[in-house]
Amino acid sequence: MPEPRRVVVALGGNAMTAPDGSARPGDQRAAIATAMDHVADLVAGGTEVVLTHGNGPQVGNLLVKNELAAHVVPPVPLDWCGAQTQGTIGFTMVDALEQALRRRGAARPVAAVVTRTLVDADDPAFTAPSKPVGRYLDADEAARFIALGQNWVDQGRRGWRRVVPSPEPREILDAVAIGALVAAGVTTVAAGGGGIPVIRDEHGALRGVEAVLDKDRTAVLLAHLVRADTLLIATDVPNAVLGFGTPQARPLGTVSTDELAAYHAAGHFARGSMGPKVEAALRFVSHGGERAVITGLAQMADGLAGRAGTIVTRSETARMGPTTHDPR
């Protein structure tokens, strides 16, 4: 398989908080600086990178602030919270990446695009909240908020998390601006938090809606939009794992779309965390992408080189070619 040339790197919202989940500004800045150091290594090494990022922890925290301050200042809707996270995270990423590139003698222009993503007004996800946002709480604390009418789900080891509607992203509406920046050689951050969810009303006008999109799903649209050969999903684990959290846990190395789809159907990847990443990888590769890689931030370069991570290839390619690595 040819070397990756243009890569969409999707960074999880978790990669932007401290390892204990703290989202204090200093912790977020430090985490983003670390992430951008890894990205700068790729860019300085000649890979063309287009970036996107999650916002789950951050947008959930904004929602809480809104609610706590509602009696003093008017609360703003969830799409505005999403837009705000694109602003703060995008600004911090651009700043950190610019500096990291300069330190490597590889200075180049960097920009973040406030991005809207079209969703269907009648998407059933609006009445079935599924996207985890904000902090983790224990079951008793979560029960207090459930009693107030909020939706919370058990996320296992780390606790309970609030969930909000997450319709399917249909189209990145700021495609022309993103395409122009990428074509001009600008390292571009786009569709943060999956994009600000908007619907088209009966008059054809766009209107923001109360939801948080899954950035891994929108990353697939972005990767096709910029004609990336590789989608790299960087998270806080080095591999997608079979039997995750059990004594039989086995990290996946190179895997074909057919095999991965079968593991997914067998329930190996949790909804709301690894599940969407696996689905995004399958979608990208099944619709013409060369490869998708799911790995940790620190393993990104090795993942692109075929030496680490879960590497998803099209089934016919995988049958013909050798497995490049096995992480066991």
Ligand X SMILES: Nc1ncnc2c1ncn2[C@@H]1O[C@H](COP(=O)(O)OP(=O)(O)O)[C@@H](O)[C@H]1O
**Which residues lie near ligand X (CB under 6 A)?**
12-15, 54, 56, 235-237, 240-241, 244, 268-270, 273-274
Nearer to ligand X, 38 or 268 (CB): 268
Catalytic residue among 54, 215, 239, 306: 215
SS3 of residue 91 by DSSP: helix
Q: Are β-strands 116-118 and 196-200 bridged in parallel, bridged antiparallel, or unpaired?
A: parallel
Q: How far apart are CA 49 and CA 277, in angstroms?
A: 19
Catalytic residue chosen out of the listed positions 12, 13, 60, 193: 13
Nearer to ligand X (CB atom), residue 14 or residue 230 = 14
- Residue 173 or residue 217: which is nearer to ligand X going by CB? 217
Contact status: 56 vs ligand CP (CB under 6 A): yes
What is the smallest separation between the CB atom of 252 and ligand CP, expressed in angstroms? 20
Nearest to 280 by CA among 229, 225, 223: 223
Q: Are the beta carbons of 286 and 317 closer than 8 angstroms?
A: no
The answer to whether 61 is a known catalytic residue is no
- Asked if 13 is an active-site residue, the reply is yes
Q: By beta-carbon distance, which residue lies closest to ligand X?
A: 12
CB of 27 to ligand X, least distance (A): 15
Tell how far CA 78 is from the center of its chain: 18
Can residue 277 be called a binding residue for ligand CP (CB under 6 A)? no
Q: Which DSSP string do the residues of 120-167 spell out, in sequence order?
A: -TT-GGGGS--EEEEEEE-HHHHHHHHHTT--EEE-GGG-EEEEE--P
Closer of 129 and 193 to ligand CP (Cβ): 193
Q: Is 65 a catalytic residue?
A: no
- Among the listed residues 54, 55, 90, 131, the single catalytic one is 131
What's the closest the beta carbon of residue 113 comes to ligand CP, in angstroms? Answer: 16
Angle between helix axes 78-103 and 25-44 (nearest 10 degrees) is: 50
Query: Which pair of tokens denotes residue 266?
Result: 């067998």
Q: Which residues bind ligand CP (CB under 6 A)?
A: 12-13, 54-56, 193-194, 212-215
Q: What amino acid positions are annotated as catalytic residues?
A: 13-14, 131, 215, 277
